[in-house]
Chain A
Amino acid sequence: MTEVVIAGIGQTPVGEHWNLSLRELTLMAIEAVQQDSVGLQPQALFVGNMLAARLSRQAHLGTLVADFAGLTGIEAVTIEAAGASGGAALRAGFTSVLSGQADVAMVVGIEKFTDQIGTSVEESLGTLSDSDYEAAQGLTSAAQAALLMRRYMHEFDAPREAFGGFPLTAHANGVGNPNAMFRKAIKAELYNRAGMVSEPLNMFDVAPNADGAAALILTRPELLPPEFPHPLVRISGSSIVTDTLALHDRPDPLSFHAARLSVERACKQAGITPQQIDLFELWDSYSIYAALSLEAAGYAVRGQGWQLARNGRISLGGELPVSTMGGLKARGNPGGASGVYQVVEAVLQLRGQAGNNQITGAKRAMVQCLGGPASTAATHVLETVS
């Protein structure tokens, strides 16, 4: 069986990069990945991005990025699947290298939120939902998460305070990530008295939109030069699954069906069960999404995902470490780049390069990114090459 390995990783700090343009920020991540992969030259480039056409008035990113990075002439396209764009770009790179169409593929995730401020950002985010039947009603992404959270609390008697375990874990882990937007731990009292964004969702239940770019180099292990400088991580499972675009079109809105199927298919391909992983980089764009993702992956039964956020069960030393470098909440959420950041972070864990956040002996990671309320779910299983 052909193997695809991640031979290089690169990332920029996540934050508000007012002084950097879309192309400059992207180039920083590309220079980092080229250095890390010791100059492996890609024949194909897949750019994960969700909103540059609106936020920066720039589409056609495949060519833009290839051009600006001095890679003109190679195959390059943009991949868009809302928040799952980064994972979708990785899958495109994976299938390209697996099939032999490319020997080396570069995957880049990029999002530049700060080219716009104010209500135009929410309007742009609305284009990722059902424009005619969700956005037209003035629904925002945060309000949709709030609708899910309120119904969840109603059906399962989950206390609002319990959701604080997700941002508390993320912020504690962000302290050890030099690229994270927030590097300060928070206390439960701070969570409990935080201002509301859309009741019952408070400001700590929402990952901040931010600028960032991250990049990966994929290849097949036999193509690597001898004495390659770092441990290799292989992609053993890869899956993208769709659900209804609009949340209201689902028979059971409280079940992230696409997330469930995507985990099942990626794990089946990897020949494992979800219980056999050492860490889970999940999609904590909202605390309620983290709870629903844990249920979809089978780590908790329906209505009980919030229980995992208690008593340190998902912390670095817990039974199921999640968001190990701060997650979307503390690292920040650069939209279409977030799915690539998650993979960069999982690779750091599997290489043993995660510093103070290192999960001892981590050999296998699962990474999942979501577009909308799991309208798209992209899941990858990564393993150390022994």
Chain B
Amino acid sequence: MIVPNYLMHSDAARHEFDAYRVRRDFPILNQTVHGHPLVYLDNGATSQKPQCVIDAVNDYYCWNNANVHRGVHTLSERATHAYEQAREVVGRFINASHHHEIIFVRGTTEAINLVAQSYARPRLRPGDEILITEMEHHSNIVPWQIVCQQTGARLRVVPINDAGELQLDKYAELLGSRTRLVGVVHLSNSLGTINPVREIIDAAHARGIPVLVDGAQAVPHIPVDVQALGCDFYAFSGHKIYGPTGIGILYGKPDLLEAMEPYQGGGEMIRRVTFEESLYNVVPYKFEAGTPNIAGAIGLGTALEYLAQFGLEAVGEYEDALLARATEAVSDISGLRIIGTAAQKGGILSFVMDGVHPHDIGTILDTEGVAIRAGHHCTMPLMTRYGIPGTARASFAIYNTKEDVDALIRGIEKAREVFDR
């Protein structure tokens, strides 16, 4: 593997976070949209990719492409090595105790479905309960609904308060003798709320209940240490953390992974096959049936190394400053209401405006070159809770600057003007 040269001056970079310099690593940002410089504030949906990630994927296909774990030739050995090295990078990034706790999947969605089908389904009995929260993404709701239908288990939901914070007293009440698993989002994609997952996990563990954390939005913004959290499962997607689409991670505690059924059957996940029976491969391969997304895994490894050079504390602090600037500026705009005002928040500004539908805000901002998301953000029950059809959402990343925030504010003011005229 080629060692990217940024690793050499990583210590220098750590001291001062320089978004203007970071921007140069992202070729896509260097363009205009509708005659304006692109201001990309839809990072919650997917982030852009630095040149080193694009190069890693490209290099893999140019030089090393081969199937993994099954060839004796040089390219296969190289591909396998790069793929497994990426697994080690992921393991270090979230501080897993061993890289065999890292399973490559398609994304957060597949990670949660895997846990629902391989862990929960064989263990659930009618009347058992899965406990999630009111602010979950559909991908942390629907897989549980499916497994509940399959087993007769029930889905229970921890409510939030108006600020968008979990009602922890209600959580304590809902944790019951029939609760078999808790699923909770680490950082809400619609509200920006950072949940006290450590506290949530401790309370569940006190009753012997495992916890799955949906880290799709958390990993790019805050340091995540799965051992310190003590979570049983942690899921995230590559494409939201500067990596490619179609690759994601399920972290699982080794004893749980060992005890689980495979998710899919096929090549790669077996030791020996006869027509009578098959002997499954060891963890994590047991959960990686078929030829995996090798280039995606390599791209993700590169993305995590790229992000790690800045230090996640510095990244989080920088993005918090952008959020603070945006939050303050929008408070002057008449008829604008922020959805999600939790004390602990990261990187996401969701809002609605009197008389201007989020979709119209999105279109008007787009004509100014500002990309945001408008809609329910795959959290329909949460929108119902607030009695709104959706929100406009700006979400920040390492390459956003205060000028981007200012462009956002100008765009929102323009929307106000268009609709007030």
* Same complex origin of A and B: no
Q: Contact residues of B with A, CB < 8 Å?
A: none
